[in-house]
Amino acid sequence: MKKRKWSIAAMIAAVMMFMLAACNSSPSNNNASGGNNSGGSGGEAGTVNIGYSGPLSGPAAYYGQRTLNGLKMAAEEINNSGGFEVKGKKYKINIVSLDDKYLPNETAANAKRLVQEHHTPIIFTPHSGGVMALQVFNQTDNFIIAAYTSEPKITQTGNKLTVRIPPRYDGYIPTFTDYAMKRFGKKLAALPTATQYGKDWTEKLLPYWEKQGGKVVYKSSIDFTKDTDFFTIVTNALKEKPDVLFIGGASEPTAKVAKQARELGFKGGFIIMDQAKLDEMKRVTGSYDMLEGSIGVMPLIESDEPAVPDFVKNYRAKFNEDPGSEAAYNYLALYAFVEAMKAAGTVDDPQAIREHMNDGLKNIPEEKKVYNVPSIGEDGGFESEIVVAAVENGEIVPIELKQ
């Protein structure tokens, strides 16, 4: 099985190649009309283009679309309420989305197009490889990366125009490890996604597992962009008789791995990377029975935040499905960016907008706060609460964080 490997040198070379290509390419996959970020006069609102580059085709398309849904829903609400005002001028939001197929080089090419053709001061992307590709040039090209990834490295680079939206994934590892070891045992087999994000998660989890007295009996990864049959790799992992499987990536293929393991007789627990969501995995497995003993992120629909019920109701009405955290976090983030623009007095100065993100978070309307994010850290990461859940007796139960 081949694994995609992105060395720093290779990534930079690929990004530079696509940067040059993008300068001469014509628009494609653009589902929204252009705008010029100019303020309206005489009652006519101006347009602020917000960019999105994520997987809208391939195995991670469902994940990418749900991320985009959160942005679209927030934009529609803002526009339907009359838009927003900055220095006496009215604006509306226009989401310009491009498919990057979960490939960092495509993310870079898309970003060049978004900035050059649509003048986007902010570009959302929901995968760490894409974020890292954009960090090569976003400060030079002057746009904010709205990064929907829990990868800690992206806010450790000193990039002043990167905003990390979800909590860091390394905050989950102590609780996940403690729960899985105590309930199932100390032998772990690792079968995460083969993306850079999966590699980084593995590099954090496995040493911590061993430090707590556990043993890693099998280590591999799955390239969900190429592999659709997991029988062989799961069989090989189960030959080592693990107590716990570490799996993850987008929810749908991750659920198929769990289902395959159960069909092959695995009785242990699952540590689920935070990208995959338990409630979304349930749609593939048919019930929580196959996910018994899984520990992962608390599903949004189980949240007790006051703004969540209305958000879930409105999302269901619009998209005919339950929302996940990727939709909710990006919905919240767009509201925060709009409030930051208002506080900064500009819609097209990324540096000023970034400097007013704490104002933006503070000024989000209470009825839109689907997560409690009181502030943004000096590193550029939203400082939100980590909420963990497990599947016990076929139901979702909250799990207290291990400090």
Q: Does residue 123 register a pLDDT over 70? A: yes
CB atoms within 10 A of CB 173: 19
In a domain, 373, yes or no: no
> What burial class does residue 209 get, using C-beta atoms within 10 Å of its C-beta: 0-12 exposed, 13-18 middle, 19+ buried?
buried
209 & 80 share domain: no
pLDDT for residue 1: 38
What whole-number distance in Å separates Cα of residue 245 and Cα of residue 268? 8
User: Are 175 and 294 within one domain?
Assistant: yes
- pLDDT interval class at 161 (50, 70, 90): very high
On whether both 185 and 289 belong to a single domain, the answer is yes
Give the pLDDT confidence score for residue 225 in this predicted structure. 82
Mean pLDDT of 333-357: 98
- 174 with 229: CB under 8 angstroms? no
DSSP-derived secondary structure letter, 346: -
Task: Say what percent of the chain tops pLDDT 90.
Answer: 84
Residues 253 and 363 in one domain: no
Confidence of residue 7 (pLDDT cuts 50, 70, 90): very low
Per-residue pLDDT at 296: 98
Q: What is the pLDDT of residue 37?
A: 61
Residues 76 and 123 in one domain: yes
Sorted by sequence, the CB contacts under 8 Å of residue 198 that are 6+ apart come out as 192, 221, 248, 249, 273
Q: What is the pLDDT of residue 20?
A: 42
Lowest average pLDDT, out of 28-32, 121-125, 282-286, 292-296, goes to 28-32
Residue positions counted in the chain: 403
What was the pLDDT predicted at 59? 82
Given a cut of 60, whether residue 9 has pLDDT beyond it is no
Q: Which residues does residue 147 pair with via DSSP β-bridges, in sequence order?
A: 125, 164
- Beta-strand ranges (E) seen in 278-394 are 294-297, 388-392
Give how many domains the chain has, as a whole number: 2
Shared domain check, 233 and 183: yes
Judge whether 185 lies within some domain: yes
Which domain covers residue 359, as residue numbers?
41-168+307-368
Is 32 part of a structural domain of the chain?
Answer: no
Q: Does residue 95 carry a pLDDT above 60? A: yes
User: Are residues 316 and 290 located together in one domain of the fold?
Assistant: no
pLDDT class of 319 with cuts at 50, 70, 90: very high
Mean of per-residue pLDDT scores for the chain: 90
pLDDT of residue 196: 86
The answer to whether position 350 is within a domain reads yes
Let me know whether 227 and 131 are in one domain: no
φ, ψ dihedrals at 386, nearest 5°: -85, 130
Which tokens go with 200?
A: 């980084």
37-73 pLDDT tens trace = 655 555 678 999 999 999 999 888 999 999 999 999 9
Q: Examine residue 81 and state whether it is found in any structural domain, yes or no.
A: yes
Specify if 72 maps to a domain. yes
* Statement: residue 347 has pLDDT above 70: yes
Judgement on whether residues 263 and 391 belong to the same structural domain of the protein: yes
For 326-343, the pLDDT digits (tens) are: 999 999 999 999 999 999
To the nearest whole percent, how much of the chain has pLDDT over 70?
89
Q: What is the mean pLDDT of residues 195-213?
A: 95
Kindly state the average pLDDT of the residues 140-164.
Answer: 96
Do 140 and 196 fall within a single domain?
no
**115 and 155 fall within a common domain:** yes
**In this model, does residue 104 exceed pLDDT 90?**
yes
CATH at residue 196: 3.40.50.2300
> Is the model's pLDDT at 245 over the cut of 90?
yes
pLDDT at 38: 56
Q: What confidence score (pLDDT) does residue 205 get?
A: 98
Q: Is residue 204 part of a domain?
A: yes
Contact 1, 220 (CB under 8 A): yes
* 181 and 224 fall within a common domain: yes
Q: Is residue 49 part of a domain?
A: yes
